[in-house]
A and B are shown apart, each in its own frame.
Chain A
């Protein structure tokens, strides 16, 4: 039976991937912020977030939903600020129990997260 926990926790296998993508996203955010474009920063991060979330390891990347604002990263990477976007609502910090479904169970899920046609 999959473990339940009170907040999203990346698995050990996916944690390096998460960390790498977080680092990439934050690096991109920093670079874009340096160019003085906050809107572009948020947008580019959203792309990075969507990419990570569609990975076959189930995303396992709650940290990535937080955009560029590190002040909004809660325990386990959940989104700790008032949510405004769908990804923030879905990954908001809460007192609810959750049960992660590990998409690595899905043998037909493509390496890039794509699904086969029906």
Chain B
């Protein structure tokens, strides 16, 4: 750092100098390394590893838990979905730095111990066995289900494209330039992820392109995909795919394409329109690219997570745990996810056949309200408030069918 000059700098020069210093500091990353806190010093930590697809969701829940009394600190690395489950299976410790979220919701970095620390949980959007090299979930690891997550095809907002079919995605990402899918023929503008990515695995299952055979540039994360697609110099040529969590948070730079699956007569967005946030077509099963979130964690003989802070964090998603002040339904809805209780369709396995679903305690109305700010449902406090409607049961503040 340079010495202070012996005279006062004019304000404009001082500002410029500070800006240059800030840029230099940001470039070398010196202060974050020097000032990073030890992860173990944070209150009641739980350590996780997995995908970046649901990092916005994890961030919101982590923030809420940081604000809770007592607090829990969620510490997370997101190298890719399958890295998480593989680390749990092989007992590979987390090393280096990891993210956590402070009480203001700001993502911070902390230093892990030099010897590493065993992960307490893994998170991803797919079943363990969809990951390369995972034949079965070993005994001693539990599979806990969270909300429904969608994967979206993305183009820059300046692109004229509106939809893509499964066949087009197969040819574009499977053959690249040779696929001749105009305008997606320049492989430097095909943005992909590797075979450990939930998004890649889901697109692979949908299109038939093997997970390791995708053509294009590896964006390394969902956020990376959004960045590369959104900033593409040739907007018409650019396309990628990412989770709805991340896509919805970046609609200023990327636009979601309608997806037309094999046997489908038209392409649909996850939402009822390209600009909506209602996830109507995910909920109804009209949009194909969705799966239920998984949290994996070591369990005891009774299937219970013995690590208390991990059990608290994972339990929020399964609804086994409630924490005063944390509204999981609202958090999931605002993160681009759909709680299971708001679904009208279900499926077994990743991209398995669809079947009709009526949740035991439906929450579709409350979901609509949280996700979009409005619902046509009748508000209620008790069942009697619903007795003159076709939806006789009051749930989550609205009249539902049961």
Contacts and interface: CB of A to CB of B under 8 A. Distances in A.
* 9 tightest A-B CB contacts, nearest first: A62-B265, A53-B263, A89-B285, A98-B266, A8-B265, A99-B163, A101-B165, A99-B162, A8-B266
B284 A100 contact: no
Interface residues of A, number: 47
Given A103-B165, A109-B167, A54 B262 contact: yes
A115 B165 CA distance: 13
A26 interface: no
B174 A118 contact: yes
Interface of B: 160, 162-165, 167-168, 170-171, 174-175, 179-182, 208-210, 213, 258, 260-269, 271-274, 280-281, 284-286, 288, 345, 353-356
Contacts of B213: 118
A98 B263 contact: no
A61 interface: yes
A118 B175 contact: yes
Given A106-B167, A115-B167, A99 B181 contact: no
Interface in A67-118: 77-78, 82-87, 89-92, 94-101, 103, 105-109, 115-116, 118
Contact of B356 (A58, A82, A101): A82
B318 to A, nearest CB: 26
Given A4-B162, A86-B354, A99-B162, A59 B267 contact: no
A91 B258 CA distance: 14
18 contacts: A2-B162, A10-B265, A53-B265, A59-B263, A59-B265, A85-B353, A86-B263, A92-B284, A94-B272, A95-B272, A99-B267, A105-B181, A105-B182, A106-B165, A106-B168, A106-B171, A118-B210, A118-B213
A101 B353 CA distance: 22
Nearest to A91: B265
Contacts of B264: 53, 59, 90-91
Chain A interface, >50% SS class: loop
Contact of A98 (B170, B174, B267): B267
B265 A105 contact: no
Given A99-B162, A105-B182, A118-B209, A83 B356 contact: yes
Contacts of A99: 162-163, 258, 266-267
Given A107-B180, A108-B180, 5 more contacts: A9-B266, A83-B285, A90-B264, A90-B354, A94-B280
Contact of A96 (B180, B260, B273): B273
A41 interface: no
A6 B273 CA distance: 10
A94 to B, nearest CB: 6
A50 interface: yes
Given A54-B262, A83-B285, A108 B175 contact: yes
A77 B266 CA distance: 11
B170 A89 contact: no
Contacts of A85: 353-354
Contacts of A8: 265-266
A82 B339 CA distance: 22
A96 B280 contact: yes
Contacts of A61: 265
B165 A89 contact: no
Pick from A9, A101, A107 the residue with the most CB of B within 10 Å.
Answer: A101
A85 B265 CA distance: 15
A8 B267 CA distance: 9
B137 to A, nearest CB: 26
Contacts of B181: 105-106
